[in-house]
Chains A and B, each alone.
Chain A
Amino acid sequence: MATNPMHQFQVYKIGPEIKIAGIDLSFTNASLFMLLSAFMICVVLFLGTKEKKIIPGKFQLISEMFYNFIAKMINDTAGSKAKPYFPFIFSLFMFVLFCNMLGMLPYSFTVTSHIIVTLLLAIFIFIAVTVIGFLKHGFGYLKLFVPSGVPVVLLPLITVIEIISYLSRPVSLSVRLFANMMAGHTMLKVFGGFVISLGMLGGWLPLGFSVALTGLEILVAFLQAYVFAILTCIYLNDALNLHH
């Protein structure tokens, strides 16, 4: 059981089974780690904003860095019109980042390695962006599907292609995060298993790989949170500043 590389992704119930109207709402290890990451975000940001010093302490420095990072990213990609959406994108980035990073700890559970979690986030973003687009531009938002300067003969074809590419946004957004996290953690576990099975003689090579992969995984954990947030900004930019 312990050598099965997929075992780490198993969701199991913690505590009693709760069923409301036929829907299983039991508290699982996934819920635990989601709550834990939300709690840790609150702790870091609370400690960071408790004392507002001119020379920041560790936590204040981290919080300010996150704030500046996201503020700059939103400004660069979506312009100043996207400022009201800062809280949402900041929470999104922090949640994905902390879930990914908590998953890097041994014996922990990676929430973002389950497609249902990432797909839900992505679908929420997709619907929100579509609603914002229609609110800001009315039916003019549909111009997004009709690029200018296309011959009339090709227009139906291009429109269908644009619609496909609009609909594939949530899919690519969620699959990217989920696949990266799951593949990375499976690979780590497989190499860990090689260390045990090859023993003292041949186990050193996979051990080295494991160490290198852990470093890569930490990079990927950060990068995926970043890509998730920046793509949200890009989609928001399409909805706010329609230029096609």
Chain B
Amino acid sequence: MANLNDFKTRLRIAKEKLKSSSRNTDNDGNISSMGSAFKLSTDLVAHVAVGTIIGFILDSWFDTKPWLIIIFFFLGSVAGILNVIKTAQKMQKRD
């Protein structure tokens, strides 16, 4: 019986530990630094590319060439830079 009680306490402690560790924290996990370097570089490029593509599609919809593609190129660049700054801030907070 002592053995069972011992096990019960251990189970309780383990469950509490799990509960406290499984609380969601506001971070990107412990992504390794090389991984986050890959993430930052491709994110910057992808945002600009997606912004430009959206501009191109809207331009051919509304027949407003070349204005929307120019606007969305800059919006995409802004989005990319903002995203990089956000990610970098999160990384700094974690350290």
**Residues of chain A whose beta carbon lies under 8 Å from any beta carbon of chain B:** 73, 75-81, 157, 160-162, 164-165, 167-168, 171-172, 175-176, 179-180, 219, 223-224, 226-227, 230-231, 233-234, 237, 241, 243
Total cross-chain contacts (CB, 8 A): 87
B75 contacts A164, C-beta separation under 8 Å: yes
CB proximity of A222 to chain B, nearest CB, Å: 10
Contact of A80 among B22, B45, B78, B80 (CB under 8 A): B22
Shortest distance from the beta carbon of A169 to any chain B beta carbon, whole Å: 8
A223 to B28, CA, bound (A): 16
**B86 CB to nearest chain A CB (Å):** 9
B65 part of interface (Cβ distance < 8 Å): no
Query: Which of A73, A157, A168, A223 has a CB less than 8 Å from the CB of B34?
Result: A223
Give chain B's interface residues, CB within 8 Å of chain A.
21-32, 34-35, 38-39, 42-43, 45-47, 49-51, 54, 72, 75-76, 78-80, 82-83
In the assembled complex, 22 residue pairs joining A and B whose CB atoms fall closer than 8 Å, in A order, are A77-B27, A77-B29, A80-B24, A81-B24, A160-B75, A162-B79, A164-B47, A164-B50, A164-B72, A165-B47, A167-B50, A168-B51, A168-B76, A172-B43, A172-B45, A172-B47, A175-B42, A175-B45, A176-B42, A227-B31, A227-B38, A230-B35
CB distance from A68 to the nearest CB of B (A): 14
A243 near B54 with CB under 8 A, answer no
